[in-house]
A and B are shown apart, each in its own frame.
Chain A
């Protein structure tokens, strides 16, 4: 069972590619910095110096300079300009852009091969999770004992906001980025995605947005939570403008990716691949993409209005100017609630896939799985104001939003039905993906139930704004989504690298993370129940024991993540070889070689059944 790992092949000079032959991440950075500097210099000199809004306007223009310069430098704009002047891409150009024969260099470039984009998303997810995780450690260190002065409260307030945004970004792409790109097109029987250049654009735009977000830390940061409620944003330093721009840029990335995914699945499925023969993972990808296309424009809108308020002194969200902070809150949560399901659904779909393969049985009630995901996405559009029960905005709407929010427990419950039904009476292969999946099941039930508490207004009147809420959504994001994302990583890692993610290291990491999650967030629930509000830089002594436990648990989770990172890096080149179908699964990505050929299939396969018949092992003929 030998595999030649293509990415170690010597680089052969080819024609094609044009300017892109000289462009990569480094030229992108240079372009971005140059663009930012030029924009700063021009705006700094042209705008009146003594006006309050000038520094905000300069910041926004500098950020725009960064992203446009970055796009130029990385090569994102080459093809559109070539098209404008009548020079279409030749086949050789397309193959160059797809990274043919470029070895590892192609991972640093604007590469249109969906498999390369998938690996780049793995790296971005780890970078964002890592940066957010470092901030989490700083936050918990500040809160380890009451009255700690590790950092002062201004720095601390900045940390919690940027931690939140980085982690949200990381989780939006955690499953849909790597696996929505690497695996989903192959699962459909396609040679690449519908719009390969847009695929590269979505990744590199995320990199640009991340750059803007990380800059906020250096320029006064974001000191009002990632939810950036108005009107306190009016008091924010210049970091707020970089944040708002980062969101506008990120929405470009996610919109482009969503459109790409949906078009690929609906127009590029191979012959015989009916919608019901698709692996369930693909359904998760398109449902999440569709929901994201609905939700993220609200985020762009609200941040654009925040920028207008800050740079042009408009009053969309300023009470004494005729606007209201409630408008900001509504627009934000119209995005914010569907967005958590954009994060959750790909992870759940990946787990359905893993459950079927590891239990050696079909997905239980495939149609219920699809209906559950569609129902969840649809209902999520109607629940946003449960984040606003205590704002005093619309007391009469409390009842209706309570109804819609509690109804969400029904499609969520169906997820448990499908998972447990798939595993029931199976022949369960206890490998790393399975282990993390069981961790998901244990954590997600706690996440779901505590959400139901908060959806009930008499309880929310007590628990809103307390650490109970923080513990609830950390059970969702860390306990459930992150565990699902790691399960997906362990599952598809052999397809990307040809090697297993080491079982022993993976188990050490799992137990550290799993026990860490319980210690951290169960004690955090108790802090909240006892009366500790959230976003507090310091707290009363009655909360000291639970906070101490929470910090110890957080350190455990970090230890688990460090071990996992060591495993991912070490096993990439030194792990146990896996062959191209280590799990003996039947979906198309496992039937191609490892790593898959540049355009996945020499001959497009014809599909006659779904991939859940484990009685026989399929091969590509």
Chain B
């Protein structure tokens, strides 16, 4: 085979093959569900503050996974998981907690850590730790300077969310829930970065630590917080 023909075949195979791969990759990337991140709302009365409202549910019927709850309607879920907050701001987080709970497996997480004052308010009462006997979930945020390509401020925030013992009264999406237990806390962001948060009170499947199912599937009990 002469040179030109060889180079022709080589180029054609790389372009066609590479093109097919790129197309497949692009379809794969678009097919993977990416949520649009929920942005936190700047506080009109307090400069340098921004409010982020999320909820934790005992199932997936509240709307984020569709009206029928998606593939796993019985899995616990947060709404939303992907969050976006501005840099160098105090983030005031409001969590509407709708789920019941039990005894925390690792008492490390019964303490509020990393928030402003290392406290949080629970239905108006300010506390630095909760009773480990009735915990539903935790909001545990972590990120280390340099993780995910950013040299943002190191964050570690842990807020335990106590169990909600109320009776069902509210309808959200296609699920019924009690009046929410409202947890409020604040933490300060530094410069840009990407952080991961997840619930650290496992309640999924598996005889080893119960981090199976909802706990280890993207989109239920784990998410990304982007500081931008």
Contacts and interface: CB of A to CB of B under 8 A. Distances in A.
B6 interface: yes
Given A137-B21, A150-B25, A152-B218, A508 B211 contact: no
A90 interface: no
Interface string A541-572: 11010000000000100110011011100100
B207 A562 contact: no
Contacts of A505: 1, 6, 9-10
Nearest to A569: B13
Contacts of B3: 504
Given A154-B218, A321-B207, A565-B13, A508 B7 contact: yes
Given A134-B21, A138-B28, A576-B1, A508 B10 contact: yes
Contacts of A540: 144, 146-149
Contacts of A267: none
B206 interface: yes
Contact of B6 (A149, A508, A558): A508
Nearest to A159: B28
Interface in B186-222: 194, 204-209, 211-213, 216-218
A502 B205 CA distance: 55
Interface residues of A, number: 48
A417 interface: no
A234 B204 CA distance: 12
B170 interface: no
A494 to B, nearest CB: 15
Contacts of B6: 502, 504-505, 508
A509 B6 CA distance: 11
A234 B207 contact: yes
B72 to A, nearest CB: 11
B63 interface: no
Contact of A234 (B18, B146, B206): B206
Contact of B28 (A151, A508, A563): A151
Contact of B150 (A234, A508, A541): A541
A556 B96 CA distance: 51
Nearest to B146: A540
- B12, B24, B151, B218: residue with the most chain A Cβ atoms closer than 10 Å: B218
A541 B148 CA distance: 7
Nearest to A134: B21
A346 interface: no
Nearest to A137: B21
B149 A146 contact: yes
Interface in B159-199: 194
A562 B14 contact: yes
B12 to A, nearest CB: 7
B70 interface: no
B161 to A, nearest CB: 23
A153 B218 contact: yes
B115 to A, nearest CB: 25
Contacts of A153: 218
A234 to B, nearest CB: 5
A542 B3 CA distance: 43
A147 B148 CA distance: 4
A80 B71 CA distance: 44
Contacts, number: 112
B29 interface: yes
B9 A562 contact: no
Contacts of B7: 504, 508
Most interface-central of A318, A319, A559 (chain B CB within 10 A): A559
A515 interface: no
Nearest to B16: A562
A151 B31 CA distance: 9
B117 interface: no
B208 A155 contact: no
B66 interface: no
Contacts of B25: 137-138, 141, 150
Contacts of B147: 538-540
Contacts of B211: 235
Given A134-B24, A505-B10, A544 B1 contact: no
A35 interface: no
Nearest to B226: A147
B208 A231 contact: yes
A146 B149 CA distance: 5
A501 to B, nearest CB: 11
A172 interface: no
A7 interface: no
Nearest to B211: A235
Interface in A99-126: none
B36 interface: no
A477 to B, nearest CB: 21
Contacts of B9: 505, 563, 566-567, 570
Given A319-B208, A320-B208, A235 B216 contact: yes
A405 interface: no
Interface string B3-43: 10011011011100110010011001100101000000000
A558 B18 contact: yes
A147 B150 contact: yes
Nearest to A560: B14
A515 B12 CA distance: 20
Given A145-B149, A538-B148, A504 B212 contact: no
A562 B151 contact: no
Contacts of A138: 25, 28
Given A150-B25, A504-B3, A559-B18, A223 B10 contact: no
B36 to A, nearest CB: 13
A52 interface: yes
A127 interface: no
A232 interface: yes
B205 A52 contact: yes
14 contacts: A137-B25, A149-B34, A154-B216, A231-B208, A234-B206, A235-B205, A235-B206, A235-B208, A505-B9, A541-B146, A558-B21, A559-B14, A563-B14, A565-B17
Interface of A: 52, 134, 137-138, 141, 145-147, 149-155, 223, 231-232, 234-236, 313, 315, 318-321, 502, 504-505, 508-509, 538-542, 544, 555, 558-559, 562-563, 565-567, 570, 576
Given A151-B28, A235-B213, 9 more contacts: A52-B205, A150-B25, A231-B208, A315-B207, A505-B1, A538-B149, A539-B148, A562-B17, A566-B17
The 9 residue pairs across chains A and B that have the minimum distance between CB atoms: A146-B149, A566-B13, A504-B6, A235-B212, A562-B17, A147-B148, A540-B146, A147-B149, A231-B208
